[in-house]
Amino acid sequence: MATNVVIGAQWGDEGKGKVVDLYTEFADMVVRFQGGNNAGHTLVVERDGELEKTVLHLIPSGILHEDTRCVIASGVVLDPGVLIEEIEGLRAQGYSVEPDQLVVAENASVIMPYHQTLDVARESDDSQQKIGTTGRGIGPCYEDRVGRRAIFARDLTDEARLRRKIGSNLAEKNQILSSMGADTYETDELVERCLEWGEQLEPFVVDAGRLVDEAVQRDERVLFEGAQGTMLDIGHGTYPYVTSSHTTSGGVCVGAGIAPRDIGGVVGISKAYCTRVGRGPFPTELDNEAGEHLREVGNEFGSTTGRPRRCGWVDVAGLRYAHRVNGFSGLAVTKLDVLSGLDTVKICVGYTDEDGKRYDQPPSDPDLLEALDPVYEELPGWEDDITGVRVLEDLPDAARQFLNRLETLLEVPIVLVSVGPARNETIVVENVYH
Ligand code: IMP
């Protein structure tokens, strides 16, 4: 089976963009199967001798490789304005973005302006539970899909259908929005906006599920690119402090429409430490000098919202759980270089409650998780700059000891270690597309 899935093993921002970019070199097709423009990948690629930065929120990073087909599958929530902006931005940078390189599932749900307004209104309403969302309308859009009110990408060129769906949606949405003191919307105005989007996106909108399945059956190398992370999964994360989609490997089947038997490898991505944005429990969070070191050296500020990320030690109890729900065939450890310069490094191996009861995985109740204390193993740190290292054997002993311990505790082989942001600052232990 030539398919691989890349999944965030923590709370998102694990450096999936770089790993996906590396694997894309070998992939024929890259598929986004969940989430929307709440995600953000910063890619640093050398072009004509210069390092160039590209930030993508929706389009799979495979788009930087001309021969790789990129798919936005039906499990994604699609903000058409953001997609059009990304297409135009890439073209302005000199990349080709044609319908044979990028396709959008006709049944991907459209994030409407009222979804975003509702998301922001809820987050600023004191009577509502605050999640710390990205404010992109992700949750309200998924709610409408589950509520059977979704507007699909294919609807964007069908005026009669748009008028009918938007009219009935607004009858309800405007009441909610005005009760919260937020902006309301007119059907005519939104139909007009949708038709403009539809005109620009029509060439890209196809039966993407069929295309993905055909590629899988032809045994092409297909890469499924997860967004966010396991602990933000709507079903298996630290609910309610989660996103609204299935970020785990099972999400590939429902989000891209392929059979479980067609999933080959599942690569979990974990930082050598841990971060989280938004609210919710975070057992290994640090509020000290080491945490500050991780934030500053790791440049832990969100690429979508710019928010400073909460930082802490790597949590093997959390990773054990991530392995349980995803079935990792390999682990990629990112940002190992950020730990350089610390006297000692810690690995959380479990938690205890106030009565001394041990937990080797996070409990599903976030209030209980919040109340638990991490149990650490402390290992020696290392001083050396490791960004130039390309094989495990050249790492300082303490860094190797750290990786060995992670591998032993988790019982998942490490397939890749990232030692810097650039594409080549990587130790490839095993190529998953061999
Ligand atoms: P939403 O996805 O905007 O609804 O946000 C729900 C939660 O998921 C919030 O805690 C966000 O900070 C978090 N979240 C959403 N997308 C990302 C991401 O790409 N990286 C990290 N956290 C994210």
109 lines ligand 1 (CB under 6 A): no
Contact 351, 283 (CB under 8 A): yes
Q: Is 243 in the pocket of ligand 1 (CB under 6 A)?
A: yes
Highest mean pLDDT among 55-59, 148-152, 275-279: 148-152
In this predicted structure, what is the pLDDT of residue 169? 98
Q: What does the pLDDT average to over 10-31?
A: 93
Nearest CA to ligand 1 atom 10: 278
Q: Is the CB of 138 under 6 A from ligand 1?
A: yes
Mean pLDDT of the chain: 95
Residues identified as active-site: 13, 41
State whether the beta carbon of 58 lies less than 6 angstroms from ligand 1.
no
* Cα separation of the two ends of the chain: 11
Contacts of 87 (CB under 8 A, 6+ apart): 59, 97, 102
pLDDT for residue 172: 97
The pLDDT value given to residue 302: 81
Over the stretch 57-90, which tens digit does the pLDDT of each residue have? 999 988 988 899 999 999 999 999 999 999 999 9
Instruction: Determine the pLDDT at residue 306.
Output: 81
* From 39-43, 277-281, 364-368, the region with the lowest mean pLDDT: 39-43
CA 328 to chain centre: 16
Tell me how far apart the alpha carbons of residues 29 and 16 are, in angstroms, rounded to a whole number. Answer: 16
Dist. CA 51 → ligand 1 center (Å): 28
- pLDDT tens per residue, range 372-410: 999 999 999 999 999 999 999 999 999 999 999 999 999
- Confirm or reject: Cβ of 57 under 6 Å from ligand 1: no
Cα separations in angstroms, 268 against 31, 378, 386: 16, 24, 22
pTM of the model: 0.95
- Cα dist. 207→27, 98, 212, 268, 320 in Å? 21, 16, 9, 29, 37
Q: How far is CA 421 from CA 15, 141, 332, in A?
A: 9, 33, 14
CA 407 to ligand 1 center in whole angstroms? 28
How far is residue 327's CA from residue 378's CA, in Å, rounded to a whole number? 27
Q: Which of 195, 153, 154, 187 lies closest to 170, judged by CA?
A: 187
Whole-number pLDDT of residue 278: 86
What local confidence, expressed as pLDDT, does residue 41 receive?
A: 83
Instruction: Give 51's pLDDT tier (boundaries 50, 70, 90).
Output: confident
In the block, residue with structure tokens 């160039």: 52
Q: Is the CB of 34 under 6 A from ligand 1?
A: no
CB atoms within 10 A of CB 341: 13
Would you state the pLDDT for residue 428? 95
Ligand 1 proximity of 132 Cβ (cutoff 6 Å): yes
The H or E element containing residue 32 is strand 29-32
Q: How confident is the model at residue 423 (pLDDT cuts 50, 70, 90)?
A: confident
CA of 365 to the centre of ligand 1 (A): 19
Percent of residues, the chain, with pLDDT higher than 90: 89
pLDDT range class, residue 17, cuts 50, 70, 90: confident
pLDDT tens profile 328-375: 999 999 999 999 999 999 999 999 999 999 999 999 899 999 999 999
Q: Nearest residue CA, atom 21 of ligand 1?
A: 12
For residue 242, the CA-to-ligand 1 centroid distance in Å is 7
User: Which of 20, 58, 115, 133 to mutate for ligand 1's pocket (most ligand atoms within 8 Å of CB)?
Assistant: 133
307, pLDDT greater than 90: no
Q: Find the 278 Cα to ligand 1 centroid distance in Å.
A: 7
**Ligand 1: residue whose CA is nearest its atom 11:** 133
Confidence of residue 303 (pLDDT cuts 50, 70, 90): confident
Domains belonging to the chain, first-starting first, are: 3-100+207-428 (3.40.440.10), 109-204 (1.10.300.10)
Atom of ligand 1 nearest to the CA of 227: 19
Lookup result for tokens 């919040």: 370
- In degrees and rounded to multiples of 5, residue 356 shows phi and psi of 85, 5
Atom nearest to 278 CA in ligand 1 = 10
Cβ of residue 130 lying under 6 Å from some atom of ligand 1: no
pLDDT at 207 over 80: yes
Reported as type and span, the H/E element at residue 370 is helix 366-371
Q: Does residue 139 have its Cβ closer than 6 Å to ligand 1? A: yes
Which residue spans within 83-226 are E strands per DSSP?
A: 102-105, 109-110, 205-206, 222-225
Average pLDDT for 320-325: 98
